[in-house]
Amino acid sequence: MVPVMTASQDRQAGPASRTLSVADYAAGVRGGDRATLARAITLIESSKPAHRQLAQDLLQELLADTGAAMRIGITGVPGVGKSTLIDQLGMNLVAAGHKIAVLAVDPTSKRTGGSILGDKTRMERLSRDPSAFIRPSPTAGTLGGVARKTRESIVLLEAAGFDVIIVETVGVGQSETTVAEMVDFFLVLLLAGGGDELQGIKKGIIELADMIAINKADGDNVTRAERAAAEYQGALSILTPSSASWSPPVITISGHNNAGLDRLWDEVLAHRQVMSQTGELDSRRQRQAVAWMHEMLSDRLMDALLQNDKVAAALPGIEADVAAGRMLPPRAVDTILRMFGLA
């Protein structure tokens, strides 16, 4: 059996001595070769123009082999138990014959440059299983970067035969919305016992949810979890659901005790059946693909603009004028676009 690679091993697999062609990468990914898959993910994470072109050629080559996996997003504040849940749910699914991939959206600290997740795999059992693959996705401080890398990684993982792909977010800032816009099913993980159960949870995140799960419903916390579930179910009833065909359920679970995870998975399967039958799954993925294109277009245009010699030379002075209040941002934008020939 081939062991699952950690993120550190994945990155070390990238700079091999022999340069792989698109055909080499595609054959390795389709064949389930872990080292080639790791190198392919490293390739799409690269910002070098030559690597970017090779990565896009590879993704296009693999396009016909993608689309069959269940794409599941999981969010929740730090400490809610995401890693424990994913570890246990993943082991349940592996036992049922699934191949599981986990992509952890990892916003990097803008102040220190340090990665929240780093290279340490926190899902100990799942990380050792040959039917699983876990990869953190550091963003270098931008969610735009992780959106592109994570979406492209999903393509590679589907082509490699993984049929359940979980995208985990640490639940910071806009990362929840970013993840919700690249998956088929979005699970919001919450805790009970914080007094006012609805405090601190953003309405926008609740509206994105395809299901809410109250985690750590075990021991003395069971009653509080059930009470919280009732309150959140009531909150959902006054919001407009994202789908006319699906009413998001609220359930209680314990990732630590493997309690309620069978029902959680049953709800995921029920959602997929409903969305497939109504055509909403296809339309959702189509909207996501177009949004992905628009985001990449914006990113590439911004990169090209900042690499322009005239803009690069003038930008520090323009930024200083804006900061000092000598120039309003709209005038600054027009000035920069004229230098680039777009205004």
Reported as a single tens digit per residue, the pLDDT across 17-32 is: 478 999 999 999 999 9
The gap from C-alpha 74 to its chain's centroid, in whole angstroms, comes to 8
**342 confidence band (pLDDT: 50, 70, 90):** confident
> Which CATH architecture group holds 66-277?
3-Layer(aba) Sandwich (3.40)
Residue 91 has pLDDT above 50, yes or no: yes
**107 confidence band (pLDDT: 50, 70, 90):** low
Provide, rounded to the nearest whole percent, the portion of the chain with pLDDT above 70: 82
Q: Which fold does the domain 288-340 belong to in CATH?
A: Helix Hairpins (1.10.287)
**280 confidence band (pLDDT: 50, 70, 90):** very high
Residue 228 has pLDDT above 70, yes or no: yes
Q: What is the pLDDT of residue 139?
A: 52
Task: Say which residue the tokens 């600290």 belong to.
Answer: 109
Q: Across the beta sheet with 250-252, what order do the strands follow?
A: 132-138, 100-106, 164-169, 70-75, 185-190, 211-214, 250-252
Q: Burial, 65: exposed, middle or buried (Cβ in 10 Å; 0-12, 13-18, 19+)? A: middle
pLDDT of 35-64, one tens digit each?
A: 999 999 999 988 788 898 999 999 999 999
pLDDT of 119-173, one tens digit each?
A: 345 788 999 999 999 987 655 545 555 667 889 999 999 999 999 999 988 655 5
DSSP string, 77-118: -TTS-HHHHHHHHHHHHHHTT--EEEEEEEPBPTTT--BSST
Residue 80 has pLDDT above 60, yes or no: yes
Structure tokens given for 317: 């002075």
Structure tokens given for 313: 């030379």
The CATH 3.40.50.300 portion of the chain extends over 66-277
Residue 316 has pLDDT above 50, yes or no: yes
The CATH 1.10.287 portion of the chain extends over 288-340
